[in-house]
Structure 1
């Protein structure tokens, strides 16, 4: 009888041990269906950047529909990743260049969008083809650098606005 109990205990431990090994060897892979925007840029001073998204190309900006990312200042290039809420595929976007009124010029190396197996990327001066900007930004296409200027009697709000060419790329991502 003791040998049957001992055999039962050993078999139970063996099954539990094998199950734990299987769980450790096969990590669960999450399916990522979030639309992401990655901006590779040089931001020399701490700041916070936002991507506002509209699911209709003609919809006005809704102050609730945005993703905010804090950025530590650095002389090195860094990837700033905006992960939109799951199942949101924007038809239009606006890229706000932060709230630090003393920010140095920002070099934008690339702008990339990913959604499932689809991706789009604009590099350096091509940013100018896909984005317009408000009067608070001077964009040097040759160096892909945005210089921000404060305007008298206007609130500080430097923004890049998607042109039709970027809206077309967003449309392709949604298909």
Structure 2
């Protein structure tokens, strides 16, 4: 009888400890900032640092102060890179610097998505040139979404500027009634 009580107590203690550990292991739900996000789905094979510049109505020009940097590990498959603009800032224009690596292989852009408070605008690969203009350091193949780089001596600053047609879409994502 004593052995049965000892086994019963051991079982109860084990159950109590395992239940207690399960309660402690419950993940705490992370509260994320309410940010305007630009999500770029791309295939980039070499490590790089991509940069998103943004302006709001109080900013006249893109500058280094209003940027989001994103270090990227190169991979042979596509990946999504999210640029979260600081909470409380709602951009009315963006500029996307596609590479800082002078030795970067061609990059394939699959899509660019703007997102805020559940409102989303997704630009598919076939429509990238409708909404963005590549600068003189980029050769862009719109049928494949491939960005190749043009070297001009030591200068290297490949980026995409927005076209006017994107502004109503940014406003819609921001939640501004037109």
Interval of TM-score (by shorter of Structure 1 and Structure 2): 0.7 to 0.9
What are the ranges of 5 or more consecutive residues in structure 1 without an aligned counterpart?
1-20
What are the ranges of 5 or more consecutive residues in structure 2 without an aligned counterpart?
1-22
The equivalences for 1:52-71 within 5 A come to: 52-56=53-57, 59-71=60-72
Q: Partners in 1 of 2:162 and 2:65 — Cα distance?
A: 19
Question: What is the CA-CA distance between 1:29 and the residue it aligns to?
Answer: 5.4
Q: Partners in 2 of 1:123 and 1:141 — Cα distance?
A: 11
Q: Partners in 2 of 1:115 and 1:80 — Cα distance?
A: 16
Counterpart position of 2:168: 168
**RMSD of equivalent CA atoms:** 2.3
The equivalences for 1:60-139 within 5 A come to: 60-139=61-140
Tell me the alpha carbon deviations over residues 73-127 of structure 1, each in whole angstroms, 9 at most, x when there is no partner: 1110010111110011100000001211111111000101110111110111211
Q: Partners in 2 of 1:102 and 1:139 — Cα distance?
A: 17
Q: SS at the partner of 1:95?
A: strand
Q: Partners in 2 of 1:88 and 1:163 — Cα distance?
A: 21
- Equivalent pairs, count: 156
Q: Partners in 2 of 1:43 and 1:24 — Cα distance?
A: 37
Q: Aligned pair in 2 of structure 1 residues 167, 58: CA closer, same or farther (>3 Å)?
A: farther
Runs of 4+ in 1 over 6 A off after TM superposition: 23-26
Q: Partners in 1 of 2:117 and 2:25 — Cα distance?
A: 27
Counterpart position of 2:11: none
Q: Partners in 2 of 1:97 and 1:29 — Cα distance?
A: 30
Q: SS at the partner of 1:169?
A: helix
Quick check: 1:40–1:108 contact (8 Å CA) kept in 2? yes
